[in-house]
Amino acid sequence: MIKQIKLGLLLLLLTTNMVFALSAPSGLMCELMANPQETTIQDSSPEFGWIVNSDVSGDMQQAYQVMLASSCSLLDQNKPDKWDSKKVASADSVNISYAGSALAVNRSYFWKVRIWNNANEPSDWSSIQEIKTGPSLNGYHTARYKQVSSEISPITIKKIQVDHYLIDFGKDAFGYLRWDIPQRLLSENLSGTTVEFHFGEKLKNGFVDRKPGGTIRYYQAKQSLDGSASYEIHPPGVTLGIAIPADFGRIAPFRYVELVNCPYPVTLGDFKQLSVHYPFDDNAASFVSDNIILNQIWQLCHYSIKPTSFCGVYVDGDRERKPYEADAYINQLCHYCVDREFTLARYSHEYLLEHPTWPTEWKQHSIMIAWADYLYTGNSESLAEHYDKLKNTKLLSQYARTSDGLLNTAKLRDIVDWPVTERDKYDFKPVNTVINAFYYHTLTLMEKIAIVLGKTEDARIFSQQARQVYQSYQSVFYDQSTGLYIDGQDSSHSSLHANMLPLAFGLVPEKNKAAVVDFVKSKKMACSVYAAQYLLEGLYLAGEEQAALDLIVSQDSRSWSNMIREGSTITMEAWGIAYKPNQDWNHAWGAAPANIIPRFIAGIRPVQAGFAKALIHPQPAALNHFQIKTPTIRGEITVTMDRKTDICTFKMNIPANMTARFVLPKNCESYTSITLDGKPVTLQKQGKMRFIDPLPSGDHTLIAQ
């Protein structure tokens, strides 16, 4: 009898552990959207995805079952009338194509999923997600959300004098103001009073700056009170660029509002800033370290991605409100690192394919955007749909010289950097180093794209062209006497750009790296906020993480700290007003640390498309502590590093149905004792690099000493 009781308790314990270990799938997505019910889809064969949840280290999905029905009640009864995939043996948890009967237009449908894990244990069914079809259902189509608005309360209201107040909302945002008159005052005779509103991004001597300079915004509006309980006051704003949905009226960026001739003493609760933006999860990502300046820069750049989405497509800020490819690429990388959101990047990319801009390098960025889209989503539909355009109009191979494969872009408009004062005296030539660095990089990406799409012959040609460009690059642009790359054929000048871009794109042979790296480091930030993306990437990829960190936290005038000093709460179009007199204060292409910190300081990047496998290669430099949470399509990755004199501890959580490659940081290379989850482990080696591959999913503690 006692044995039976013990056996029953054991079975109960095992059953309880089994249920606890494998939870229902969460994070459901349709067409790469976490909330598809908020919009409509027009793809007749949409894709589905989910997050696998398990507390068992190394647990992987072995099978799934998807049900889709025309009503929730049918799903509750497990009687789907549209699609029952049955049990499908597959580890795929993203980009599962619909395979049921034809969907109808203008209808709601409902779906759910369950999975089986390594032990062939089924999970519970997920929650039910609604999807809505649009007025037409075709083949490939990119869905996106409508813009939304968020209510922001003031952080302070300062009384300047009787009937004169300054409201501070803490951060700049694109939107308008709502004024709610307190209930107790509605019976008073406020009608007929006209209140002046001064909207601005910048203060001067405690007042909204009426002449802030550049494209830093200031607007004046007036509102006559008529006894209403609430008023919406819209800045006059601008009407250029991408149109804002009429639902919101005219919007403009502002942080401060100054009230003149206000008829009563106002309080914090009377006002709201209505911030217009693309749907955004403020809590999807986080970062904190032992460097206060780095934390401030993270907060600046992280926040910058949300308000600059106000147009529903990536734009260049408020000065033009126009999409540009290079802006979109940096915006895309940052967005992926701060939110589990992929549709705005894809929509912006495909918009730019139809509405390209003028700079030569911006055309090349389209290929980079396309590859990043695939790498972070694992979805190749956009690649397939736009492959011919990428190959024929964005690669620019029609400008390649037959003699050596290098591009001659004399008939195009090369930009190198922007504004022109940030080019480090670049010497423009018809065949130049910057354009051909991008060309080499895009050839390598087109080879990968062709392989993904099964275009074997194209992949072979791209590979051959890339090898030729690599060799020609060294013979035409490398100056043996200085050990540096010159700006272009027949130039005698070596700029920062001519050296940092080949460094970032793998064009510098190992034997030549030392001189190039020393030169790049000596130049510091002799480039714009845009080119800083490639400067930092080049330094991190070369193992120069301390030099990169020093640039990120620099207090010089060319720095993110200078943006904060000058008063902006969104990254600027340039380092400061001195570097671009007509710049704006809301430009996401200046937000590079929002992706550099997760991708290089924490070292979290996709190794396999859709984060089937992640890289975790921290490059903390002088940091002794950091803690990061970064989203992926398969769930969030968290990493915490704590370093003391003779010991460094990493705590990591890798989502189920994902593996990782963990690379020991450079400053831990001398440590001889490595334990993983309390057990000694021998690291694999490749040159000086030591790593664990594969590192299974789950919670891990790695200690090096």
Give per-residue pLDDT as tens, 116-175. 999 999 999 999 999 999 999 999 999 999 999 999 999 999 999 999 999 999 999 999
Q: Are 409 and 382 in contact (CB under 8 A)?
A: no
Assess whether the region 23-138 and the region 613-704 belong to the same CATH fold.
no
Q: What is the mean pLDDT of residues 488-499?
A: 98
Which of 161, 182, 154, 162 has its CA nearest to residue 257?
154
Domain boundaries, the chain: 23-138, 148-277, 613-704
**How far is Cα 418 from Cα 529, in angstroms, rounded to an integer?**
9
14-28, 369-383, 470-484, 548-562: least confident range:
14-28
Q: At what angle do helices 292-305 and 325-338 cross, to 10 degrees?
A: 110
Residue 9's CB is within 10 A of a number of other CB atoms, namely 10
Which of 532, 538, 541, 492 has its CA nearest to residue 519?
538
Domain at 23-138: CATH architecture: Sandwich (2.60)
**Residues β-bridged to residue 35:** none
* Percent of all residues in the chain with a pLDDT value above 90, rounded to a whole number: 94
Topology of domain 148-277 in CATH is: Jelly Rolls (2.60.120)
**How far is Cα 1 from Cα 675, in angstroms, rounded to an integer?**
44
Q: What is the mean pLDDT of residues 501-515?
A: 98
Phi then psi for 615, rounded to 5 degrees? -95, 135
**What confidence tens digit (pLDDT) does each residue in 612-632 have?**
999 999 999 999 999 999 999
Residue 210's CB is within 10 A of a number of other CB atoms, namely 12
pTM for this prediction: 0.96
Strand 129-138 relative to strand 41-43, pairing: parallel
| Inter-CA distances, 503 with 296, 349, 363, Å | 28, 26, 21
Q: At what angle do helices 433-452 and 497-504 cross, to 10 degrees?
A: 20
Residue 638 DSSP SS3: strand
What average pLDDT is seen over the chain? Answer: 95
Residue 6's CB is within 10 A of a number of other CB atoms, namely 10
Token readout for 675 is 């334990």
Token readout for 322 is 């126009």
Instruction: Supply angle C-alpha 643, 645, 649, rounded to 5.
Output: 30
**How far is Cα 317 from Cα 217, in angstroms, rounded to an integer?**
12
Residue 469 DSSP SS3: helix
For residue 621, what is the DSSP state?
T
Contacts of 570 (CB under 8 A, 6+ apart): 171, 172, 253, 300, 303, 304, 307, 308, 585, 586, 587, 588
pLDDT band of residue 238 (cuts 50, 70, 90) is: confident
pLDDT score, position 450: 99
> At which residue do the structure tokens 């207090």 appear?
555
CATH of domain 613-704: 2.60.420.10
**How far is Cα 237 from Cα 252, in angstroms, rounded to an integer?**
5
Assess whether pLDDT exceeds 90 at residue 2.
no
Token readout for 439 is 């060309």
pLDDT score, position 35: 98
**How far is Cα 690 from Cα 685, in angstroms, rounded to an integer?**
5
Q: What is the mean pLDDT of residues 366-383?
A: 98
